[in-house]
Amino acid sequence: MTDQTMTPEERAASLEGMGCRRKRVEDVRFTQGKGNYVDDIKLPGMLFGAFVRSPYAHARVKSINADAAKALPGVVAVLTAEDLAPLGLHWMPTLAGDKQMVLADGKVLFQGQEVAFVVAEDRYTAADAVELVEVEYEELPVVTDPFRALEPDAPVLREDIKDQKEGAHGPRKHHNHIFTWEQGDREATEKVLEEADVVAEEMIYYHRTHPCPLETCGCVASMDKVTGKLTVWGTFQAPHAIRTVVSLISGIAEHNIRIISPDIGGGFGNKVGAYPGYVCSVVASIVTGRPVKWVENRMENLMSTAFARDYWMKGRIAATKDGRITGLWCHVTADHGGFDACADPTKFPAGFFNICTGSYDIPVAYLCVDGVYTNKAPGGVAYRCSFRVTEAAYFIERMIEVLAIELGMDAAELRRINFIRKDQFPYKSALGWEYDSGDYHTAWEKALKAVDYEGLRREQAQRIEEFKAGKTRKLLGIGLSHFTEIVGAGPVKNCDILGLGMFDSCEIRIHPTGSAIARLGTISQGQGHATTFAQILASELGIPASDITVEEGDTDTAPYGLGTYGSRSTPVAGAATAMAARKIRAKAQMIAAYLLEVHDDDVEWDVDRFVVKGNPERFKTMKEIAFAAYNQAIPGLEPGLEAVSYYDPPNMTYPFRAYICVMEIDVDTGEWQVRQFYALDDCGTRINPMIIEGQVHGGLTEALAIAMGQEIAYDEMGNVKTGTLMDFFIPTAWETPNYITDHTVTPSPHHPIGAKGVGESPNVGGVPAFSNAVHDAFRAFGLRQAHMPHDHWRIWQIAENLGLHA
């Protein structure tokens, strides 16, 4: 078929634009082993760095003797805090306004903390030398419980700030206290709770876990002493922010720093923050004049890089007798570990946890979060969690279930009664957010119908009868979850990280022959940006997606952006992409009008061309226009066809979803099996349905892992009990259910293409669905709340405590 004979629909389809299930262009490389990850980077003369780490969770470092290590052939240097101190680099600022030791400065605060950095000719020699470094420790009392940490006689963890009464987020009330963050109306909420017909109260714990990406964190630092230019390849989810931070703390001019994120083997938030390994590699490269590589092993990754969750959430929810929610109260004790290294926007020390009113129209609410230091690893926002939204979703979706029990009501019905109605959007929540759009009732009814909810409840009732009659030992749980997320930080006016406003960017160049390159401030870690952003451009510019290269991650070429996490790429950089494309189209319109010898207003856009209004035979395709931009002298116009957009979103986007999990539970063994999982996602306009489904499958599997077994657990000595993949649960195909995905489409009214984020959603809403299924199975026997993860042992214990074992 030629261009002339194709209908506009056929022309549009041939572009593989928005809505197309376009195959991921990245996978050609990935499936053939042609990815280029940090560890694939090999430079001439490159050295390897490895850490000596603390075996203790809390100890004074009396002395470090590196003589034997230095004497080992092949060892080039051993760095300690003493070496970094003269450079002012023994401590580094964290994204949360705290500071963190780069190498142990007099003491250690968690097991696995970095004590010394050994640099050697190869990785094996570095590992041997690590064993030869002699460190003398004096053990100190360990605190792993945040409630214990706040007792008056609790050991002082952070001696460096013990007398400091003010922290980065206001007053500190105890030597192990970090901040108090209050939102909402305390007085009004407490009054409602006092006067309510029904109040349900519960402590909900979201345990500590870890994103554990396939590829661990690492970097290669290379200081060119001749040009003075520092290049760092690394697993960075925010390369530009890393460049600025490196410049600020090292004093190296920003133009002399080049940060490159090559292919990344999964980020999941683990690669947002800055780690001592980056600083030590840079210093080692400057000191030795040679490139230095540092790549964590799996145990180091699990023990010392950004953990997730560890939130103790005390909730009280009030309602009328007939189930209308009247108020929500929440107090969180947030365990941040030894340093506050959360990657939240500066003004939000507990991230966007104040989305905890969820999908419900709750008239008043009050939230208070206390951050606490303990002898555990720092971090705290990672793992498919835009800024504590996972915790918030789990909290409200558990509180709804507990309230349903208190009211003796069906939990699906309780949700239905309290959902924010379609006509209430844009909706202002009691804790300060403005939800952009939603249609919860439609999604909910669709979900309930798809699984035959009434039928499932009948089956469950029958199962309970059979169980009581001794005919079966298996119970049936129906886990419900409906959650509203908040993704796409900005706006710049209230969101920044270390003072850098959270906008994002896209720069497009159309080549003379009509193909193009687009560069963005974000960075894919597996999400498929090279595929999807080209689709946005294909629809906006009428250029086939296959003719567009999407490039990210090199700060020397990409426009400044804040990176990829918090499902912000589509809401922010995706919007920048559409806006930059529209600038190009505006110029293209002028070029077309000139070529067609008509006024600018007399041409109109038609898929991939401008046509003369009322005369569709006369047109100029985007390809022709591109060539003209470089080949004709057009009066009043500069040559070329390029545009850049820095987009500051007016609001965040609020995707939502309805998930239902049906689970079989063996009361005697605690074994569980997911019989059915239905996931309805509404992320507004869908760019690539196949990628969205992949995102949902991946996110749900991570949710399954978290809810059903994954945990970073400590003993009372502060030893990490789950530091290997033998103990840290990673679901395989065996445990992973066959998900049924579905969707509704409620576009974001403020986003240029109406898209909302989707990458995090399945984890945020999946965990409550799995966990609620476990709880629901035992509801008839009196279970109200049981802490995750729901591994076989803990489920067995629930049954035991409820007296279900003979």
Contacts to ligand PCD by CB under 6 A:
237, 266-269, 272, 382-386, 525-529, 532, 564-570, 683-688, 691-692, 695, 698, 755-760
Cβ proximity to ligand PCD: between 464 and 498 the closer is: 498
User: Which partner, ligand PCD, Cu ion, none, binds residue 390 by CB below 5 to 8 Å per kind?
Assistant: none
Catalytic residue flag (residue 384): yes
Size of the site for Cu ion (CB under 5 A): 4
* 258 to 277: interface string for Cu ion, x by CB under 5 A: -----------x--------
Specify whether 148 is catalytic.
Answer: no
- d(C-alpha 263, C-alpha 28), whole Å: 13
**346 or 386: CB nearest Cu ion:** 386
Note the residue count of the chain.
Answer: 806
326 binds, among Cu ion, ligand PCD, none (CB under 5 to 8 A by kind): none
Pairing of strands 672-682, 496-497: unpaired
Q: How far is the CB of 569 from ligand PCD (least distance, A)?
A: 3
The one-letter amino acid code at 695 reads Q
User: Which entry of ligand PCD, Cu ion, none binds 383, CB below 5 to 8 A by partner kind?
Assistant: ligand PCD
Minimum distance of Cu ion from residue 38's CB (angstroms): 22
Nearer to ligand PCD, 150 or 755 (CB): 755
- From ligand PCD, Cu ion, none, which one binds at residue 683 (CB under 5 to 8 Å depending on kind)? ligand PCD
Q: How far is the CB of 168 from ligand PCD (least distance, A)?
A: 21
| Residue 743 interacts with, from Cu ion, ligand PCD, none (CB under 5-8 Å by kind) | none
Q: Which of residues 70-109 bind Cu ion (CB under 5 A)?
A: none
Which of these is catalytic: 100, 111, 183, 237? 237
Q: If contact means CB under 5 to 8 A according to the sort of partner, which of ligand PCD, Cu ion, none does residue 431 touch?
A: none
- Residue 569 interacts with which of ligand PCD, Cu ion, none, CB < 5 to 8 Å by class: ligand PCD
- Is the CB of 381 or the CB of 578 nearer to Cu ion? 381
- Mark residues 538-567: x for contact with Cu ion by CB under 5 A, - for none: ----------------------------x-
Residues between 738 and 797 with contacts to Cu ion, criterion CB under 5 A: none
- Select from Cu ion, ligand PCD, none the partner in contact with residue 528, using the beta carbon and a kind-dependent cut-off of 5 to 8 Å: ligand PCD
Buried b (16+ CB within 10 A) or exposed e, 695-717: bbbbbbbbbbbbbbbbbbbbeee
Q: Which long-range CB contacts under 8 A does 751-754 form with residues at least 24 apart?
A: 751/571, 751/574, 751/575, 751/649, 751/653, 751/684, 751/685, 752/575, 752/578, 752/579, 752/582, 753/18, 753/536, 753/539, 753/574, 753/575, 753/578, 753/685, 753/687, 754/684, 754/685
Contacts of 168-175 with C-beta under 8 Å, sequence gap 24+, read 168/96, 168/97, 168/98, 168/340, 168/349, 169/97, 169/349, 169/371, 174/150
> Per the residue annotation, which of 22, 53, 316, 384 is the catalytic one?
384
Packing angle, helices 411-418 and 389-407, rounded to 10: 110
Minimum distance from residue 375 beta carbon to Cu ion (Å): 25
CB of 390 to ligand PCD, least distance (A): 9
Q: In what order do the strands lie in the sheet with 364-373?
A: 177-184, 364-373, 325-337, 308-319, 198-209
Q: Which of 282, 328, 385, 755 binds Cu ion (CB under 5 A)?
A: 385
Q: Closest distance between ligand PCD and the C-beta of residue 305, in Å?
A: 13
CA distance 504 to 515: 23
Q: Which two tokens stand for residue 33?
A: 């082993």
Taking Cα atoms as reference points, which of 323, 325, 306, 395 lies closest to residue 355?
395
Strands (E) in 242-355, as ranges, are 257-260, 292-295, 308-319, 325-337
Distance CA 326, CA 192 (A): 7
Decide: 188 and 196 in contact? Cβ < 8 Å: no
566, 760 Cβ separation under 8 angstroms: yes
Closest to ligand PCD by CB, 198 vs 212, is 212
202 catalytic residue (yes or no): no
Smaller CB separation from ligand PCD, 58 or 686: 686
Tally Cβ neighbours within 10 Å of residue 746: 24
Helical pair 575-596 and 622-631, crossing angle rounded to 10 deg: 70
Active site residue 527: no
Residue 791 near residue 729 (C-beta atoms within 8 A): yes
Residue placing its CB nearer to ligand PCD in the complex, 529 or 587: 529
Q: Which residues contact 555 (CB under 8 A, 6 or more apart)?
A: 239, 240, 243, 257, 258, 259, 260
Residue 535 exposure: Cα atoms within 13 Å on the Cβ side:
26
Nearer to Cu ion, 146 or 269 (CB): 269
Q: Are strands 364-373 and 325-337 parallel, antiparallel or unpaired?
A: parallel
Catalytic residue among 215, 300, 693, 760: 760
Least distance CB 582 / Cu ion (angstroms): 29
Q: Tokens 């969707």 correspond to what residue?
A: 743
Nearer of residues 269 and 768 to ligand PCD, judged by Cβ: 269
Residue 485, Cβ neighbours under 10 Å: how many? 31
Q: How far is the CB of 652 from ligand PCD (least distance, A)?
A: 12
Distance CA 799, CA 792 (A): 11
386 binds Cu ion (CB under 5 A): yes
In whole angstroms, the minimum distance from the beta carbon of 703 to ligand PCD comes to 12
CB of 101 to ligand PCD, least distance (A): 24
Residue 429 partner contact from ligand PCD, Cu ion, none using kind-dependent CB cut-offs of 5 to 8 Å = none
Tell me, residue by residue from 216 to 255, as one string, x for binding to Cu ion by CB under 5 A and - for no binding: ----------------------------------------
- In the list Cu ion, ligand PCD, none, the entry touching 111 (Cβ below 5 to 8 angstroms by class) is none
Q: Give the tokens for residue 447.
A: 């979900």
- Judge contact between 114 and 102, C-beta under 8 A: yes
Catalytic residue among 20, 219, 280, 385: 385
Q: What's the sign of the alpha-carbon dihedral 156, 160, 164, 168?
A: negative
532 binds, among ligand PCD, Cu ion, none (CB under 5 to 8 A by kind): ligand PCD
Positions 564 through 583 that interact with Cu ion (CB under 5 A): 566
Among the residue ranges 177-185, 378-386, 599-607, 718-726, the one whose residues contact Cu ion (CB under 5 A): 378-386
Nearest distance from residue 272's CB to ligand PCD, in Å?
6
Of the two residues 126 and 687, which places its CB atom closer to ligand PCD in the complex?
Answer: 687
Region at 435 (left for phi over 0; alpha for psi -120 to 50; beta for the rest): beta
Report the candidate in 662, 205, 207, 202 with the shortest Cα–Cα distance to residue 400: 202
- Report strand pairing: 504-510 vs 516-520: antiparallel
C-alpha–C-alpha distance, residues 795 and 537, integer Å: 50
Q: Is 426 exposed, middle or buried (0-12, 13-18, 19+ CB in 10 A)?
A: middle
Query: Is the Cβ of residue 482 or residue 529 nearer to ligand PCD in the bound state?
Result: 529
> What minimum distance in Å lies between the beta carbon of 580 and ligand PCD?
16
CA 155/CA 153 separation, integer angstroms:
6
Residue 665-704 contact track with Cu ion, rule CB under 5 A, x = bound:
----------------------------------------
In b/e form, how buried is each residue of 758-790, taking b as 16+ CB within 10 angstroms? bbbbbbbbbbbbbbbbbbbbbbebebeebebbb
Nearer to Cu ion, 351 or 514 (CB): 351
Measure the CA–CA gap between 139 and 58, rounded to whole angstroms: 6
Nearer to Cu ion by Cβ, of 392 and 480: the residue is 392
Question: Residue 759 CB, nearest distance to ligand PCD (Å)?
Answer: 3
| Residue 567 contacts which entry, ligand PCD, Cu ion, none (Cβ below 5-8 A, type-dependent) | ligand PCD
What does 695 bind: Cu ion, ligand PCD, none (CB cut-off 5 to 8 Å by kind)? Answer: ligand PCD
| Beta strands 114-120 and 75-79, pairing class | antiparallel
Where in the sequence numbering do the catalytic residues fall?
A: 237, 384-385, 760
Interface residues with Cu ion (CB under 5 A)? 269, 385-386, 566
